[in-house]
Structures are given as C-alpha cells and as structure tokens.
Amino acid sequence: MSTALLTDLVIFVLSLWVGFEVISKVPATLHTPLMSAANSIHGIVLVGAMLIAATTNSWVGYLIAFLAAVFASANVVGGYAVTGRMLKMFRKRPSAPAVPASAAAQDGHRP
C-alpha cells in the first residue's frame, strides 16, 4: 500500500467522523435543506470533470469530460440555488414580506 493511498484513507475516515459529528446535530426541520446542501457539496466532483478535460486528448476522453462537466455543474449550480431558495423560506416569526409583491404572487405566497 502506497503512502499516498494511506494518507487518502486517513483523510477519508476522519472526514466521515467529522461528518457524523457535525450532522447528527441538525434538527429535523432542516433535513431537506441539509440533504440539498449535501447534494451541492458532492458537486465538487466538478473538479474531477475539469481535470479530465485538462488532461485528455482523445475524443472518448472529451466526450466523458463533457458529460461529466454537464452532470457536475448541474449538480453544483442547481444544488446551491435550490438550497438557498429553501432556506430563505424558513422564518422564526411571520415577518413583513421580504419578497416584492409580484414575486410573492408568482411564488404563491400568501399576502
């Protein structure tokens, strides 16, 4: 087993524990945004897609890089956008509508 693989394994295992520790405190109210946030974080695979595009020089490689780039960037952009949209809706008390009336009507918010 190479040192690099061992280092990677250590990082992986410790990150798992950090994840368990941090996430087990998230309240049930936020479980959907949490999952959506986790979703956007795994969009980091975009880095992998970019590195393929940077190193390949065959048409198969370009095809794979293209598909991976489409998938991963849909994941990243969509994930963060929808998480933000959801979290904006969580309020402690009904406050003065933060959204303009037209947008509110479009989103189906109650006046």
Buried-exposed string 3-35: b where 16+ CB fall within 10 A, e elsewhere: eeeeeeeeeeeeeeeeeeeeeeeeeeeeeebee
Residue at 99: amino acid letter: V
- For the CB of residue 58, give the shortest distance to other proteins in the complex, in Å: 8
Q: Are 36 and 86 in contact (CB under 8 A)?
A: yes
- For the CB of residue 101, give the shortest distance to other proteins in the complex, in Å: 14
- For the CB of residue 13, give the shortest distance to other proteins in the complex, in Å: 8
